[in-house]
Amino acid sequence: MPSKDSDQVDQPNCAELLRSRVYFLTVPLTLIALLLGLGLFVGALSGLLGIGGGLLMVPVLTAVGFGVLPATATSLVGVMFSSISGSLRNWRTGKLDLRRSLGLASSGIPTAQIGAMLAEHLSPSVLAFAFAGLQVVAMYLIGVRQRLALRDGEGDDRESGHEGGYGGDRLGDRPYALWLDRSSLGIGMIAGVLSGLFGVGGGVIMVPLQMLVLKTPIKEAVRVSLGAIVAIGASGLIRHAFLGNVLWIPGLCLGIGGVIGAQIGVRLLPYLSAPFISFLFRGLLMLMAAFMVYEGWILLPST
């Protein structure tokens, strides 16, 4: 595993380090096991919450010794695997509205490129502080999402009559025009920038905004978001790979665990209450945000 100090402080030489074959041949088995477990856990949350999981993966990768920028880029590998796995499950069961997912992704794909380029030009400390800020915003948005679900009586698809199919559309007479809706495009643009910049899928933004702006039922929003993350995450990953920021072996370990975890998550989604899921995730985000503030503090240049 690369030295934490050399990986984080010597950012200009990061690309050369990541291309080193010696690094790829010396990944410790304990680290592989940790990353597989992390991918499994985050994949389950991905299927439950409609998020990519980068909000948890980036801090953990940073904690075990990767620099903030490589952790951000590498988490997108896990995000991709988890979102593909969960979306395939939703698609096979007829619960994925592909048109809506493509509507969000169509504007998120180009902005993910912009986010990845911005990440390349930020110092590690600024990126860590900004990531902690995103986690605080995410905690607030999860609370908003929970209140919206309770207000509309949509904490459970089985009770509200929405089984996840297209018949659950609450947007009136515009089911086929939705993917071109300006609000959908705007939500996708925001999610794309966040995905490329922070190595997240953008679902933590897409789900509550779909509920708030588009009046989409919560579990429908989760599935649509997860589908959009496939394309948006791929866009950011391609840019980071071109810049040489991706650690492929750790990323693949995250991805393999994420594939299994996402299948577990989408199966549990109909049976777990939204308040319980939100409470668990917000608690984890609080801990991770505190860690990223600490990480940003120690990465500040000495004067």
Mean pLDDT of 160-165: 35
- Supply the pLDDT for residue 303: 56
SS3 26: coil
Determine if the pTM surpasses 0.85. no
| pLDDT at position 202 over 60 | yes
C-alpha–C-alpha distance, residues 237 and 215, integer Å: 30
- Supply the pLDDT for residue 48: 74
Higher per-residue confidence, 69 vs 282: 69
The answer to whether the beta carbons of residues 124 and 131 sit under 8 Å apart is no
Higher per-residue confidence, 36 vs 175: 36
What is the chain's Cα-based Rg?
Answer: 18
Q: Name the residue type at position 28.
A: P
Locus of tokens 């009136």: 172
pLDDT tens readout for residues 208-243: 888 888 888 877 888 899 899 999 999 999 999 998
Supply φ then ψ for residue 25, to 5 degrees. -85, -10
Higher per-residue confidence, 27 vs 78: 78
pLDDT tens readout for residues 248-298: 888 888 889 888 888 888 788 777 776 777 777 778 788 888 888 988 898
Higher per-residue confidence, 267 vs 9: 267
Locus of tokens 């199966």: 267
Mean pLDDT of 119-135: 90
- Supply the pLDDT for residue 216: 82
pLDDT tens readout for residues 78-98: 888 888 888 888 898 888 888
Mean pLDDT of 195-199: 90
